[in-house]
């Protein structure tokens, strides 16, 4: 049984119905991420099966349009749609969205909302380790912080692990031959802090690399990670299930 802690169903499939048909039975839970006002609003039209949990937040790309009105909208959606977590939120200096200041303002404001509503956060951080780390140090929401699609090396991981309540989620790129730094980082993650995800439709794992990713391919990442860690696959599945239950399921409010 597998859990996919991060995917974008609306980017993977042409329709929500098609997405539902393509989620295999051996995926017990999946977190579907919405990253813009339009995607969040479309959630109001959907009835989700129990295994699909939704998280949402404003992606760094939206930093230039973030204002008080958007903040009030987001608060309203958090109160009415009860997301499992706030995210993905964070910093992306690789894509130069807006300015670092605007990205930081959006990130910090959403960390404060996560704190206000007691929601875990799903962090996107690309080419922005120093600022991500210092913002989490200064504005930690006091709830679990999941580093989604972990993309740094072991040195950065050691620093992140000095922060409270940090969890690390690896995506399909950990299977790529060039990703030795990710595999080195994986070895340092305490087992009760580990998650795996597809980040579908992006980053398809080997042997599906190059194809559009989908939740079904999570099994390849599990398989790969169990080999890297020299764990039985069943042991890895059980550990992630335990972590997921502890962090997310125990706090579900409907």
User: Could you give the CA distance from residue 245 to residue 90 in angstroms, rounded to a whole number?
Assistant: 24
- How many Å is the maximal CA-CA distance in the chain? 50
Q: Is 199 marked as a binding-site residue?
A: yes
Measured from the CB of residue 48, what is the shortest distance to Zn ion in angstroms?
18
Q: Which of 18, 7, 52 is nearest to 218 (CA)?
A: 7
Which is closer to Zn ion, CB of 92 or CB of 199? 199
Measured from the CB of residue 120, what is the shortest distance to Zn ion in angstroms?
15
Q: Is 8 marked as a binding-site residue?
A: yes
Measured from the CB of residue 92, what is the shortest distance to Zn ion in angstroms?
11
Q: Is 131 marked as a binding-site residue?
A: no
Residue with tokens 């690789």: 94
Which is closer to Zn ion, CB of 179 or CB of 233? 179
Q: Is 39 marked as a binding-site residue?
A: no
Pair 139, 109: CB distance under 8 Å: no
Which is closer to Zn ion, CB of 124 or CB of 219? 124
Which is closer to Zn ion, CB of 22 or CB of 238? 22
Residues within the interface to Zn ion (CB under 5 A) = 199
Q: Is 11 marked as a binding-site residue?
A: no
- Chain centre distance of CA 18: 22
Q: Is 45 exposed, middle or buried (0-12, 13-18, 19+ CB in 10 A)?
A: exposed
Measured from the CB of residue 133, what is the shortest distance to Zn ion in angstroms?
20
Pair 158, 181: CB distance under 8 Å: no
Task: Indicate the annotated binding residues.
Answer: 6, 8, 88, 124, 148, 199
């Amino acid at each position: 049984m597998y859990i996919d802690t991060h995917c974008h169903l609306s980017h993977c499939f042409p329709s929500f119905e098609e997405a539902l048909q393509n989620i295999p039975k051996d995926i017990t839970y999946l977190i579907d991420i919405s990253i813009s006002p339009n995607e969040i609003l479309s959630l109001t039209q959907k009835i989700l099966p129990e295994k699909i949990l939704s998280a949402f937040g404003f992606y760094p790309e939206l930093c230039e349009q973030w204002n008080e009105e958007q903040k009030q909208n987001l608060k309203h959606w958090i109160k009415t749609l009860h997301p499992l977590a706030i995210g993905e939120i964070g910093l992306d200096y690789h894509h130069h969205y807006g300015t670092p200041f605007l990205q930081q303002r959006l990130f910090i404001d959403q960390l404060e909302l996560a704190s206000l509503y007691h929601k875990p956060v799903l962090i996107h951080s690309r080419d922005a380790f120093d600022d991500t780390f210092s913002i989490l140090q200064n504005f930690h929401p006091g709830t679990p912080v999941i580093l989604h699609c972990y993309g740094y090396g072991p040195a950065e991981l050691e620093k992140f692990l000095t922060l409270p309540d940090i969890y690390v989620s690896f995506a399909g790129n950990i299977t790529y031959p060039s990703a030795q730094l990710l595999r080195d980082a994986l070895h340092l993650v305490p087992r009760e802090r580990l998650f795996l995800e597809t980040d579908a439709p992006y980053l398809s794992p080997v042997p599906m690399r190059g194809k559009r990713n989908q939740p079904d391919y999570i099994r390849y990442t599990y398989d790969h990670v169990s080999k890297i860690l020299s764990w039985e696959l069943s042991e890895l599945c059980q550990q992630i299930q335990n972590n997921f239950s502890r962090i997310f399921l125990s706090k579900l409010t409907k």
